[in-house]
């Protein structure tokens, strides 16, 4: 069954165990790890048997950073996180870069887009092989055009995943970014088919679902119709109120959406 997770930084608690105990009372099933780097949190989750939907952004540097030292950091951290993700039975969310784009002045990487894509794939290939051995997954996530310009849409992520030709490499759909880039979010998710491995949810202004204007009904209908069985992670920039208020409200909304889409099927 699909599990509902919530990013750990949104949850009160001094330890991963305390955060997990809190999210259970809020109506969630698991945590999404987001610390940078996420090594210790992942080891704590393994030790305390805390379920994890994904490790998201838990590494230093970027695979297409302008600084070669930052690329090396990203490759080293991701290799270690792949092994930890395998022990957790989950995957790592990977993006080419955050905050570098040719769509805004002065924010390019200094390479061409084709060079950036080739460099991204170069970094991912050994990670894909490692993930296959470790029983882990790599989730390629499209980010909106103002945060990168290599992987912007679901179609971009599918193309990159296909280039790697690895069963361990699948894709993420994030409703915040999709709301900017996809003409029809439900159709884009349906088009991903079995390559869709994880879904992150946030509303239009990147608060929790229900706090903005995204209509999540068609999105959840599409997930149900395609037989999606992966996890759903709440990944927001913040919450519209205190976590003990906003998170239970979001969990209830998400569970209602799942239930209602099943009834309409």
pLDDT, one tens digit per residue, over 169-209 is 999 999 999 999 999 999 999 999 999 999 999 999 999 99
- Give exposure, 51-84, as e/b (b: 16+ Cβ within 10 Å): bbbbbbbbbebbbbbeeeebbebbbebbeebbbb
Contacts (Cβ under 8 Å, ≥6 apart) of 10 = 234, 236, 238, 239, 243, 247
Stretch 8-24: mean pLDDT: 98
Contacts (Cβ under 8 Å, ≥6 apart) of 117 = 96, 150, 160
Strand, helix or coil for residue 83? helix
Which residues are catalytically annotated? Answer: 141, 235
Stretch 124-151: mean pLDDT: 98
Q: Quickly list H helices, 99-212.
A: 113-134, 154-164, 175-181, 185-192
CA distance 139 to 233: 13
Q: Give, for 173, the enclosing helix (H) or strand (E).
A: strand 169-174
Residue 109 vs residues 30, 114, 145, 151, 153: alpha-carbon distances, Å: 36, 12, 14, 14, 19
Strand, helix or coil for residue 116? helix
**Cβ atoms of residues 170 and 137 within 8 Å:** yes
Return the residue matching tokens 């992966």: 230
CA distance 108 to 105: 8
Strand, helix or coil for residue 170? strand
The two tokens of residue 9 are 């930084």
CA distance 195 to 172: 9
Read off the pLDDT of residues 68-119 as tens digits, 9 standing for 90 and up: 999 999 999 999 999 999 999 999 999 999 999 999 999 999 999 999 999 9
Q: Give, for 158, the enclosing helix (H) or strand (E).
A: helix 154-164
The whole-number pLDDT of residue 265 equals: 74
Return the residue matching tokens 């079995």: 194
The whole-number pLDDT of residue 264 equals: 84
CA distance 151 to 123: 15
The single-letter DSSP state of residue 145 is T
Domains of the chain by start residue, with CATH: 4-264 (3.20.20.150)
Contacts (Cβ under 8 Å, ≥6 apart) of 237 = 202, 206, 207
Average pLDDT over the chain reads: 97
CA angle 33, 151, 171 (to 5 degrees): 50
CA distance 82 to 135: 9
**Cβ atoms of residues 198 and 139 within 8 Å:** yes
pTM, 2 dp: 0.97
The least confident of 50-54, 121-125, 169-173, 261-265 is 261-265
CA distance 58 to 38: 5
The whole-number pLDDT of residue 1 equals: 77
């Amino acid at each position: 069954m699909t599990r509902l997770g919530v990013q750990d930084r949104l949850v009160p608690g001094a330890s991963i165990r305390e955060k997990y105990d809190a999210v259970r009372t809020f109506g969630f099933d698991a945590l999404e790890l987001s610390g940078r780097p996420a090594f210790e949190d992942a080891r704590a989750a393994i030790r305390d048997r805390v379920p994890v939907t994904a490790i998201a952004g838990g590494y230093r540097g970027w695979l297409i950073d302008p600084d070669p030292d930052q690329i090396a950091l990203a490759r080293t951290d991701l290799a270690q996180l792949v092994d930890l993700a395998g022990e957790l039975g989950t995957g790592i969310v990977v993006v080419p870069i955050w905050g570098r784009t040719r769509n805004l002045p002065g924010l390019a990487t200094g390479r061409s887009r084709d060079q950036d894509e080739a460099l991204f794939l170069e970094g991912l290939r050994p990670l894909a092989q490692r993930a296959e051995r470790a029983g882990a997954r790599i989730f390629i996530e499209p980010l909106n055009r103002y945060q990168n310009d290599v992987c912007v849409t679901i179609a971009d992520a599918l193309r990159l995943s296909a280039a790697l030709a690895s069963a361990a490499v699948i894709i993420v759909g994030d409703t915040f970014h999709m709301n900017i880039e996809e003409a029809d979010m439900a159709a884009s998710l349906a088009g991903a088919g079995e390559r869709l491995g994880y879904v992150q949810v946030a509303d239009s202004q990147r608060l929790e679902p229900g706090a903005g204007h995204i209509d999540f009904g068609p999105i959840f209908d599409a997930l149900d119709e395609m037989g999606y069985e992966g996890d759903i992670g709440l990944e927001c920039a913040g919450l519209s109120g205190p976590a003990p208020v906003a998170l239970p409200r979001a969990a209830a909304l998400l569970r209602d959406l799942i239930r209602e889409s099943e009834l309409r099927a």
